[in-house]
Structure formats: structure tokens, C-alpha cells
Structure 1
Amino acid sequence: MFRSCRTPRRTAAIAALVTAATLTAAGPVGAVPAKTLKVCTTGDYKPLTYRDPATGNYSGIDVDMARDLAGHLKERLVFVPTSWPTLMRDVGTPGTCDIAMGGISVTPQRQEQADFTQPYLADGKTPITTSRAAHRFQTVEQINDKGVRVIVNPGGTNAEFVRQHLPNATVITWPDNTTIFEQILQGRADVMITDAIEAKYQATRHPGLVAVHPDKPFTTADMAYMLPKNSRLTGGAVERWLGDALTDGTFQRAYDRWISTQDAPPSRGAEHELSARP
């Protein structure tokens, strides 16, 4: 008959070591692992979302709203870089993001692949060009001409508008939406079609540019926050949060903060968030 050679004292010591190792791996007794809120955002669409290439820090209206949502849910905030060409793929990839934020227009094509919250902003496509050329680009018919160089960032609703409404224009695709406006100022393009909120914002930041009739855009569309199909966040707490934010002044304060000031200060709590690597 086999008999253990461990003494009671040695057995107790081994049991203590096993217990200590288990607690170290699991964390302190009673600790609840914090959930992570993964927010996909392009970081190239001021004043709604912008990623500083030097620091990796995010800022903008929808970045402030993401921070408020994370605080409401009591979850750790992680920004996940995406782009307009890859946005729908990233949202549809399980585990990549819980929600996408940053000036995303609701379209039938996107609704087939993802869910949306209630709208939080109404906007539409309008031209941005130099103040000298504004009289030339008042209508779609004026812009839809081979002699007009229309610059566009790929993958989003700006590109879709150009494809549908400006087939005769000379189209210049520029991949970096953060530097696209300098191309107009430098004479490399004539005009860009974008959402009125971006056109107005960029015109105030680029002397010499003007948003053409932003209060009467060519189209109208709602912006909302996008969620993967069957997301844990669909409906429920997120809809209640957004409904409250639209009525209690939370969204209005974020909007005013970025529209009325050229360089808003960093949001409180930014030092606690993370940015996922591309």
C-alpha cells in the first residue's frame, strides 16, 4: 500500500502556496474585473473626433460623449482606431468595438449591417472652398463639371455623394482627412463636399476657406452612434444615457465647447483612458 511521505506540516505549507498562487492570478478576494468600453472612431473628423498623431490623444464632441458614456456605464474607456473604408468591417468583427462614435451618418446600407442609437445631430452635405471661388460652387450642377477638381476622402458618405451626384467632375482622392483642406488652400483642388458641421468648423480654422450655404445643405441626414448587431449595448442603458444627454445639456455643452472655442482644453478623466494600437 502506497503511503504519502508528506507530513501534515508540509501538506499545509503546499496548500498555502497553492492558495496564494490562485489569489494572485485571480486578483484580490472580492474584486470584480472592470468591463472595457471599446469605442471605434476614425480620429480624423473635427470637431467630432480627432486623434493627435504626436500623442495619440483623442478630442472632440463625440470623444467627450464617449467619456461621458464610459463614466455612465462605469467601464474603462478604450479608443480603437478605425477608418472610413474599414469602419463597417471593424464594427462587424466580433470583439473589435462595442460602439462606433464620431460623426457617423445613418444610411440604409449601414443599417443593414449594424444597429444605431437614436439620432443626436441632423446635418447634410455642403461644399467647402476658397472664399474667392464660393460663387462658382453654389449648386450641384456647377460642381458637376470636368473642369472642377473635387477632392474627397475615401470610404464614407462624402465619397458616396461624389459618386452619385458628381460623375462628371474631376475627382481627387486624398486619404488623410486631417490635411485635405490644405490641398484646397494650396490650389491642388477646387472644392470638397462634406458635412456642414465639418465645413463650418474647418472654415473657421483655415482663413481663406468658406462653407458654402451650410444652413441649406444639398442633402439632409441624421448622425447617430453605431453598434454591432446584437451588441450588449443595443437599447437599454445606452439609449437612456443618450436620451438624458440630449435633454439635460450634456450634449449641448460638448457641442458648444468645440464649436465655440478653437482649442478646447483636455477633458477631465482623459488620463485614465487607453488607446488600442492600430
Structure 2
Amino acid sequence: MIKKYCAALLISCFLLVHTGLLKAGALDDAVRRGVLKVGTTPNYVPFEMLDRQGRIIGFEIDLLHAMSRALGVQLELVAVPYKELVPGLMAKKFDLIGSGMTVTQERNLKLNFSDSFIVVGQTVLLHPRLAGAVSSIEDLNQNGYRVVAIEGTTGQAAARRFLGAARLSSVTTPEEGVRQVVEGEVDAFVHDAPYNLIAMSRPQNSALLALEQPFTFEPLAFGLKKGDYDSLNWINHFLNQIAQDGTYDRLHDKWFTDTAWVSELE
């Protein structure tokens, strides 16, 4: 009887493996392949962006390089438009998403997220003509003001939530959003604080005003397919490790304290 039970158990395990019910995680696949494939949209300064040679660089990219070294694999960045990140992950075009993605309840229904590696928030860049008229997000929430945000981002969601009375529009890149404010096509641009801070430092944008206090709380994290808990466990331990050994602080200072990298951009 015991022999029959053991035989049945072995057969069941064999069938589970060969019917795909026991699936390896994305990082296991990456290790077997020797390459970690990461979906990203390289237009989010200073997290992922293009340098003068067309290479993708940035804070999150450096975290991914460190992650790949810890796994013992090569890093392959798959550049796609932001709206194609989740569909691309589902279609197995890459193993995980590393693209400045904010953890939201809506996204969490489709994805599993790692622990956050940084917290940001939305801020506002203003045209100079609003000096003295707008000093808070509440002041901007009026029908007469034109506000732009990037399509499909939490900036757009925040604009809809907090600036519903204003005339809202969308663009596909942050550069276009800033340009529209600089040239007076719109009154304000809503986007993540790190990007807006750096945009303000560029000479062509020096006349812009800013509501610098973030009005949202947005943790950024790596996104994986739902149910891939082994990969999540590894990434979370990796994030804890680099926080303890000084790697995280070194990379954070490189991108958020030093400014030498700005000269490398297009």
C-alpha cells in the first residue's frame, strides 16, 4: 500500500512539473538564460534616461546593474513606451519592470511589486505669469488654468484628482510637458519631484516657477507577474543587502547629490 502511494505521489509530481503547474520564477529563468531582461521607458530623469551615446543610464538602471551582478547574469534593457510595460511583462518580453513605476492599488491588481526603493511625489512647474496668483495646488484648481501631465502616469491621475476644475491635457514625454509651460501653451505641468527639480536647473527653463512641496506620496518599486513570490523574495533581500552595505547610499548620492551626470545627457 505504501509503495502504491509513493508511486502515485511521484507520478503526480511528474505531471505537475510537465503540465507547468510548478513554474520557475522570472529570476530563475534569468539565471538559466544568463540574462536578466528588464522593461523600461528611458525618459524619467534621473531614474532612467538616454545619454549622448544613446545608452540608458540612471539611478534605477544602476540598481538593476547591481542586481544583475548579484544574480551573476548580464542585464538587457528592453526600451518600450510606458503604456506597453505591463502588456510587455504579460507577454514575456521581459522578466520584470524597472521604470520608475509607482505602486498603486490599481496596478497591484495586475502586478506584484517589490519593496519600494525610493519614495517620490508629484510637484508642479508653473509659467511665470502665475507669480503671485498660484501658491498652492488649491489655487491652481480653477477652470481658467490649463494643466498638462504625462499620459498613463500617476501624475495624470493626481491632476485628475486634485485639479479636476482646471482644463487638463496630456503629453507623452516630460520634455514636451515642460516645453509647453515654457512657451506659454499651458499654465502648469504636473510630474514627479525629481524630474521637475532637475528640469528647473536647466538654463532654458530658468524662468519657470515651482510648487516644490510634493502633494502625493508615491513609492517606486520593481514590478513582476502576480504569483512570482520567489523572485520578489530575492529582490527584497537584495534591496535590504545594498541598503546595509552602503551600495544604495553611494548610488543615491551619485544621482541625487552630484550633478556631473547632467553633462552626459542629450
Q: If the length of structure 2 is used for normalisation, what is the TM-score?
A: 0.78
Which residue is equivalent to 2:22?
none
The answer to whether the 8 A contact 1:152-1:159 is kept is: yes
**How far apart are residue 143 of structure 1 and its match?**
1.4
Structure 1 counterpart of 2:41, one-letter code: T
Q: For the residues of structure 2 that align with 1:90 and 1:229, how far apart are their CA atoms? A: 14
Once the two structures are overlaid, the 10-residue window that deviates more, 246-255 or 55-64, is 246-255
The residue type equivalent to 1:58 in the other structure is I
Q: Please give the residue correspondences for 1:92-131 in structure 2 after superposition, counting only pairs within 5 Å.
A: 92-93=90-91, 95-130=92-127
2:158–2:216 Cα contact (<8 Å) kept: no
Q: Does 1:170 align with 2:167?
A: yes
Instruction: Provide the C-alpha distance between the structure 2 equivalents of 1:265 and 1:203, rounded to a whole number of angstroms.
Output: 13
Asked if the contact 1:41–1:100 (Cα under 8 Å) also holds between the matched residues in 2, the reply is yes
> Could you tell me whether the CA contact under 8 Å between 1:134 and 1:212 is conserved in 2?
no
Quote the offset at 1:56 in angstroms: 3.2
Q: What's 1:192 paired with?
A: 189
Q: Kindly indicate which of the two structures has a greater share of residues assigned to helix.
A: 2
The farther-off stretch of 63-72 and 228-237 is 228-237
Residue aligning to 2:221: 224
Helix, strand or coil at the partner of 1:86:
helix
Cα distance, 1:160 vs. partner? 1.1
Measure the CA separation in 2 of the matches of 1:68 and 1:77.
9
Distance 1:249 1:138 in 2: 39
- In 2, the alpha carbon distance for the partners of 1:245 and 1:130 equals 40
- Give the distance between the partners of 1:223 and 1:33, measured in 2 at CA: 28
Q: Which residue of 2 aligns with 1:3?
A: none
Q: 1:264 to 1:114 in 2, by over 3 A?
A: same
1:204–1:131 distance in 2 versus 1, CA, 3 Å: farther
**Equivalent position of 2:150 in the other structure:** 153
Shift of 1:188: 1.6
Moved over 4 A (4+): none
C-alpha distance 210-74 of structure 1, shift in aligned 2 (>3 A): farther
Q: Which amino acid aligns with 2:79?
A: P
Match of 1:249 among 234, 242, 246: 246
Unmatched 5+ stretches in structure 1: 1-31, 268-278
Provide the residue aligned with 2:75 in structure 1.
Answer: 77
Tell me the SS of whatever aligns to 2:206.
Answer: coil
Residue 46 of structure 1 pairs with residue 45 of structure 2: yes
Task: Tell me the SS of whatever aligns to 2:231.
Answer: coil
TM-fit CA distance, 1:131:
5.4
8 Å contact from structure 2 (residues 126, 208) kept in 1: yes
State the Cα distance separating 1:146 from its structure 2 match.
Answer: 1.9
**Can you list the C-alpha shifts for 1:15-71, whole angstroms capped at 9, x where unaligned?**
xxxxxxxxxxxxxxxxx975211111111110111135x743101110111111111
In structure 2, what is the Cα distance between the partners aligned to 1:244 and 1:135?
47
8 Å contact from structure 1 (residues 34, 76) kept in 2 = no
Cα distance, 1:265 vs structure 2: 8.4
1:10 is aligned to none
Q: 1:221 to 1:74 in 2, by over 3 A?
A: same
SS in 2 for 1:178: helix
Deviation at 1:106, TM superposition (A): 0.7
Unmatched 5+ stretches in structure 2: 1-30
Aligned-partner residue type, residue 48 of structure 1: F
* 1:188 alignment partner, SS class: coil
In structure 2, the CA distance between the partners of 1:68 and 1:155, relative to structure 1 (3 Å rule), is same
